[in-house]
Amino acid sequence: MSQAEAAHRMDPQDFERVLSSMCTEPHPAARQAAERFLATNPGDPETYRTVADLEREAVSLLGDLTGLADPAGYVASGGTEANLQAVRIARNRAATDDPNVVVPESAHFSFTKAADVMDVELRTVPTSDYRADLDAVDAAIDDDTVLVVGVAGTTEYGRVDPIPALADLAHDADALCHVDAAFGGFVLPFTDHEWHFGHAGVDTMTVDPHKMGQAAIPAGGLLARSDSLLDELAIDTPYLESTSQVTLTGTRSGAGVASAVAAMEQLWPDGYREQYRRSQRNAEWLAGQLRERDYDVVDPELPIVAADVSGTMVDVLRDRGWRLARTGEGEMRVVCMPHVTRSTLRSFVADLDWY
């Protein structure tokens, strides 16, 4: 390997043509905080006290975003862990030996992992117009239902489920209501949607700083309405100075925690509002450009654009260096993250026209 090749091997990819990711360039303050806290472990909060304090701050800031005074929670490795832990809280709290969890088919595949790991039945119900269908959810709930999940910002189409009605259905059945706002949590505060603890009887929530929050990976968020819910996760830790632990991982990254606090301190609320408006305008611009070219476009309610661009065309664009995802239905999907600028989208559309 030449010297130049060896140096290049250690260069991460740039974000120039990345349209497929829910992660983005961290805010400069978030990057710096991540570097400073690389060698800290919030999994041992009595030893690493500074980062433990920062984690309490992160949870409190996430509470501000999601309409919850005095939140319980922690900074998880990502949305997958937060969703898994929400399922675990609901399962541990319930009395049944045969628990099931009701999710709309739009839910992220992390719920499939959670159900597999915990041997819980996953009841996946249809959506209508890309949102959870309340009649279908109602029909799927029974005495063994421990959790009803709503998504606030779906992975594929950015749709928001009818959260208040889902919470009512859950509570009528004595189950918990979990909202997956992993992506939506940092954009929804600037919209009219009803999605958070202040709008509905939500019990737990996933909200990820390492997506639209512009923190460094790993920074997911799990929030719970009360300490007693989070306590469902507690196990004893006899040889640490602290006596119990609620997280799934043991040793974990202080970089994500510090980075989440730094990003939120810099950006909440004005910076995030500005970013949401920019991303949303970009998504609407791209949707308009695609419609002018006669593609069917799913209306971008949040900054995610899905359109019926053919698989062949997606392959051509991939060959030209664009990183593009497709929905389960096969539509092309563009996530308008902060690094996706109008000029990026102009070159993208030019490549689409070139073919």
* The binder of ligand 0PR chosen from 43, 71, 220, 256 (CB under 6 A): 220
223 binds ligand 0PR (CB under 6 A): no
> Which tokens sit at 8?
């290049």
Site for ligand 0PR in 23-42 (CB under 6 A): 23
State which residue, 155 or 253, has the beta carbon closest to ligand 0PR.
155
Q: Can residue 124 be called a binding residue for ligand 0PR (CB under 6 A)? A: no
From 79, 158, 213, 338, residue interacting with ligand 0PR (rule: CB under 6 A)? 79
DSSP 233: T
Q: How far is the CB of 110 from ligand 0PR (least distance, A)?
A: 5
What are the residues facing 323 on neighbouring strands?
18
Residue 173 vs 215, nearer CB to ligand 0PR: 215
Q: Does 159 bind ligand 0PR (CB under 6 A)?
A: no
Q: Confirm or reject binding of residue 115 to ligand 0PR (CB under 6 A).
A: no
**Is residue 180 part of the contact set for ligand 0PR (CB under 6 A)?**
yes
**Could you say which of 24, 110, 279, 280 contacts ligand 0PR (CB under 6 A)?**
110
Integer Cα distance of 71 and 56 in angstroms: 10
In the bound state with ligand 0PR, the residue whose beta carbon lies nearer, of 108 and 123, is 108
* 246: phi then psi, degrees, rounded to nearest 5: -105, -15
Residues touching ligand 0PR: how many (CB under 6 A)?
A: 16
What is the SS3 assignment for 56? helix
Angstrom CA distances, 353 to 162, 324, 333, stand at 38, 16, 17
Amino acid at 279: S
Min dist CB 82 to ligand 0PR, Å, is: 8
Does 85 engage in binding with ligand 0PR (CB under 6 A)?
no
How, if at all, do strands 72-76 and 100-104 pair? Answer: unpaired
CA of 293: how far to CAs of 94, 231, 287, 341, in Å? 52, 54, 10, 21
Closest CA relative to residue 184, chosen from 202, 146, 157, 223: 157
**Contact assessment for residue 203 and residue 224, using Cβ atoms and an 8 Å cutoff:** yes
Q: Is 155 in the site for ligand 0PR (CB under 6 A)?
A: yes
Secondary structure string (H, E, C) spanning 237-255 = CCCCCCCEECCCCCCCCHH
CB of 354 to ligand 0PR, least distance (A): 25
> What is the nearest approach in angstroms of ligand 0PR to the Cβ of residue 211?
7
For the CB of residue 23, give the shortest distance to ligand 0PR in the complex, in Å.
4
Kindly identify the residues of this chain, within the stretch 272-331, that bind ligand 0PR according to CB under 6 A.
Answer: none
Check residue 208 for interaction with ligand 0PR (CB under 6 A): yes
Rounded Cα distance, 237 and 47, in Å: 14
21: contact with ligand 0PR by CB under 6 A:
yes
Q: Does residue 54 bind ligand 0PR (CB under 6 A)?
A: no
**Token digits for 35?**
């570097």
> Strand 131-132 vs strand 127-128: parallel, antiparallel, or unpaired?
antiparallel
> Which of 17, 88, 108, 196 touches ligand 0PR by CB under 6 A?
108
Q: Is 157 in the site for ligand 0PR (CB under 6 A)?
A: no
**CB-based burial label for 165 (10 Å; 0-12, 13-18, 19+):** middle
Q: How far is CA 24 from the centre of its chain?
A: 13
Q: Compute the least distance from the CB of residue 339 to ligand 0PR, in Å.
A: 11
Q: How far is CA 89 from CA 158, 224, 267, 280, in A?
A: 26, 10, 31, 34
- Smaller CB distance to ligand 0PR: residue 37 or 111? 111
Tell which one of 15, 48, 74, 183 touches ligand 0PR (CB under 6 A). 183
Residues that bind ligand 0PR (CB under 6 A): 21-23, 78-80, 83, 108, 110, 151, 155, 180, 182-183, 208, 220
